[in-house]
Amino acid sequence: HLEYFEEAVNYLLDHPQVKGPGVGLLGSSKGGDLCLSMASFLKGITATVLVNGSVANVGGALHYKDEILPPLGLDPNRVRLTKDGLADIVDVLNSPLEGADQKSFIPIERAESAFLFLVGQDDHNWKSEFYANEASKRLQAHGRKKPEIICYPETGHYIEPPYFPLCRASLHTLVGGPVIWGGEPRA
């Protein structure tokens, strides 16, 4: 329910130390698609940064007033197991460009925000580069400014500050088991 986040945005916009005219958002993974949804439905968002985010609503229905975005469909049969027995889920989600799954595409053309997409090109959670490029196409098709997209080769789903340890795999809450995230330590 985006009204929950709308309350926080309005609080910040009314705060005397916020210079305005809007606020910026930073989200990674599911937080990225939440930020994209906030920028699309809420007023007062002027900048949005997504780190390996999705352009489709993922994981459950998104509600805002009388609108509902269904979650992007998935096929658990597309999970691949690594030789170590970890799940590689990069191909599990359906394309948000096809069939009924088009309804899960976040209506980013409504946003009044500037966008920056940070993309790990070895993301094994989902197809972050594809999502960033589709967002760019959709924005431009609706006469909006082309977003900035910065791609990081050999970088996985987690893009952390320099010298942080690489998280190769961990428990994925929605999957209910360990998944690989992709990426190489140096990248």
Residues labelled as active-site residues: 29, 123, 157
Distance CA 128, CA 118 (A): 9
Residues 6+ apart with CB under 8 A from 162: none
